[in-house]
Amino acid sequence: MILSLSNVRKTYSTTEGTIEILKGVDLVLPEGKSVALTGESGSGKSTLLHLAGGLDHPDSGSLLMSGQELSTFSERERANYRRYQVGLVFQQFNLIPSLDVAANISFHAKLADRHDPDWERTLIERLGLRSYLTRYPEQLSGGQQQRVAIGRTLAARPPLILADEPTGNLDEATGDAVLDLMLSMAKDAGSALLLVTHSSRLADRLDRKVLLQGGRIVE
Does pLDDT of 50 surpass 90? yes
Q: Three-class SS of residue 215? A: coil
- Please tell me the predicted confidence (pLDDT) of residue 166: 87
User: What was the pLDDT predicted at 71?
Assistant: 86
Q: What is the CA radius of gyration of the chain?
A: 17
Could you read off the pLDDT of 129-138 as tens digits, one per residue? 999 999 999 9
Q: Say what the pLDDT of residue 106 is.
A: 97
Q: Do residues 173 and 202 touch, judged by C-beta distance below 8 A?
A: no
The CB-based long-range contact list for 134-139 (8 Å cut-off, 24+ gap) reads: 134/100, 134/101, 134/102, 135/100, 135/101, 136/97, 136/98, 136/99, 136/100, 136/101, 137/93, 137/95, 137/96, 137/97, 137/101, 137/104, 138/97
Q: Which residue has the higher pLDDT, 173 or 135?
A: 135
Which DSSP category does 55 fall into?
Answer: S
Instruction: Kindly list the domain boundaries of the chain, sorted by start residue.
Output: 29-46+79-218
Average pLDDT of span 161-190: 85
pTM, entire model? 0.90
CATH topology of domain 29-46+79-218: Rossmann fold (3.40.50)
Residue 175's pLDDT is: 85
The C-alpha atoms of residue 85 and residue 215 are separated, in whole angstroms, by 26
Contact at 8 Å (CB) between 212 and 37? yes
Q: Tally Cβ neighbours within 10 Å of residue 70.
A: 21
- Strand pairing report for 68-69 and 160-164: unpaired
Q: What is the pLDDT of residue 189?
A: 75
Cβ burial of 129 (10 Å; 0-12, 13-18, 19+) is buried
Rounded average pLDDT over 82-99: 91
Q: What gap in Å lies between CA 19 and CA 149, rounded to an integer? A: 32
Element (H, E) at 174: helix 172-189
